[in-house]
Amino acid sequence: MSSTLTRRALIAGAGTAALAAPALAKLGGMIDLGLPGGPSLRPTTPDFPGKRDMIVQRIRPPLLEAPMEAFAKGTITPNDRMFVRWNWPFPTEVKAAEHRVAVGGAVKKAVSLTLDDIAAAGETVEIVAVNQCAGNGRGLSEPRVTGTQWGNGAMGCAKWTGVRLKDVLAKAGIAEGATRVRFAGLDVPLTDGAPQFIKSIPMDVAMRGDVLVAWAMNDEPLPILHGFPLRIVVPGWFSTYWVKMLSTIEVLTGEDESHYVAETYRWPTVPVTPESKDFPTVPITAMPPRSFITSHADGETVAKGKPLTLEGMAFGGDAALAKVELVGEGWSAECELGPDEHGPFAFRRWSVTLPEVSGDLAAIGTKATNINGLTQPDALVWNPSGYARNVIERITLVAR
Ligand SMILES: Nc1nc2c(c(=O)[nH]1)N[C@H]1C(S)=C(S)[C@@H](COP(=O)(O)O)O[C@H]1N2
Ligand SMILES: [Mo]
């Protein structure tokens, strides 16, 4: 099927996406996220549409976390295992034929675009990229911080299909003095006077060839939980900018003073402690590298005197992965990287074999480094919202 056909089929075939939100989700099992200081147990539910068992951080608006087993194999996270995050409630039904995206602000001519207009705005582009919440792993922070107490499952890697944002912007024409491009979706605040979830990116990022207005995720129309019918994709950047159910694109000429850019989703530019006050902050943007051991869990037993193979997953953040090392207390071993299947913004597998297990493997972890030399720190870079966690994640294996 040609990409034009694929695009038509996806949009035409999707029609209306509706979410039958469970009044009270049936809860499956319980899972322990290992959050220091507790409470660490969370229920799981298979009840959200198009989802397998997901960890429930909140039912409405949904905050669903993927169990770490979702990352144990392969480099693509299936749609039924992708985490879900909404700041505010969103429509449970969206009619594709009626959906419009308003492009306005500092443009030559404001336009209102249908899905067909968007699909025809330029070449269809596919890109595999990690979707990760800026607060992923925040619940593991010590000292603890406020915000959704995510374990490390607020991430996933998918193939996104759409057109370039710059081609959509060209339909309106960018006026002089443009500084940023801001996005809004169909979700609205739950309480009167609360700020709408709107986010903006600088003009140079908006004009990148890989920043998309996407309509498909892993070759399926965007599920409603992931922003049907359109969302922004900014490969390499935390997905707080990947606005879902996109309905407005606004070109700005100054700074963005809106709540979720000027006041939240920011982190300190200097080292801070829980006692720090009045420190400078900047928006949280590009992702740093991360890596995980997926073959073994903390506390697992391994055979003494035998070789041991460890496996896992890593990603470079906003640049390709360069290497992954297994680190212990005072030693390290280079891991073998799996094939580069999907380019710089995707998950990649790694593995390493230790010739012989001579004793317990205490506090082992993996350290990923990207091609810009950015690497994972030994100690947590603590910040009040627990953003951009990428400390080396350590486990202990018991030799028996
Ligand atoms: N319209 C809208 N888009 C949004 C959000 C939101 O609350 N509303 N949350 C953002 C945040 S903070 C994250 S982490 C990602 C999560 O994307 P996902 O639910 O598809 O995994 O969506 C982003 N896009
Ligand atoms: Mo997020």
Q: What is the pLDDT along the chain (400 residues), one digit of tens a residue?
A: 334 444 544 554 456 766 654 444 456 689 999 999 889 999 999 999 999 999 999 999 999 999 999 999 999 999 999 999 999 999 999 999 999 999 999 999 999 999 999 999 999 999 999 999 999 999 999 999 999 999 999 999 999 999 999 999 999 999 999 999 999 999 999 888 999 999 999 999 999 999 999 999 999 999 999 999 999 999 999 999 999 999 999 999 999 999 999 999 999 999 999 999 999 999 999 999 999 999 999 999 999 999 999 999 999 999 999 999 999 999 999 999 999 999 999 999 999 999 999 999 999 999 999 999 999 999 999 999 999 999 999 999 999 9
Fold of 290-399: Immunoglobulin-like (2.60.40)
Q: Which of 87, 99, 215, 226 to mutate to test the pocket of ligand 1 (most atoms within 8 A of CB)?
A: 87
> Atom 23 of ligand 1 has which residue's CA nearest to it?
240
Query: How much is the pLDDT for 14?
Result: 52
Fold of 3-264: Sulfite Oxidase; Chain A, domain 2 (3.90.420)
Distance 135 CA to ligand 2 centre (A): 6
Give 260's strand partners: none
Residue 282: partners with Cβ closer than 8 Å, 6 or more residues away = 266, 267, 269
Query: How much is the pLDDT for 25?
Result: 47
CA separation, residue 149 to residues 97, 140, 219, 269, 319 (Å):
38, 8, 31, 23, 27
CB 329 within 8 A of CB 247: no
d(CA 255, CA 177): 12
d(CA 253, CA 317): 29
Query: Is the preceding peptide bond at 339 cis, omega within 30 degrees of 0?
Result: no
> Atom 10 of ligand 1 has which residue's CA nearest to it?
240
Measured from the Cβ of residue 206, the count of other Cβ atoms closer than 10 Å reads 24
> Atom 19 of ligand 1 has which residue's CA nearest to it?
84
Tokens of 374: 């950015």
Q: Is the CB of 82 under 6 A from ligand 1?
A: yes
Q: Is the CB of 86 under 6 A from ligand 1?
A: yes
DSSP string, 69-103: GGGSSSS---GGG--EE-SS---SEEEGGG--EEE
Reported as type and span, the H/E element at residue 250 is strand 246-252
Query: How much is the pLDDT for 38?
Result: 81
d(CA 323, CA 213): 31
- Residue 175, sorted as left (phi over 0), alpha (psi -120 to 50) or beta, turns out to be beta
Query: How much is the pLDDT for 13?
Result: 47
Q: What are the domain boundaries of the chain?
A: 3-264, 290-399
Tokens of 283: 């928006």
d(CA 234, CA 251): 17
Give the dihedral of Cα atoms 297, 69, 131, 7; nearest 10 deg. 160
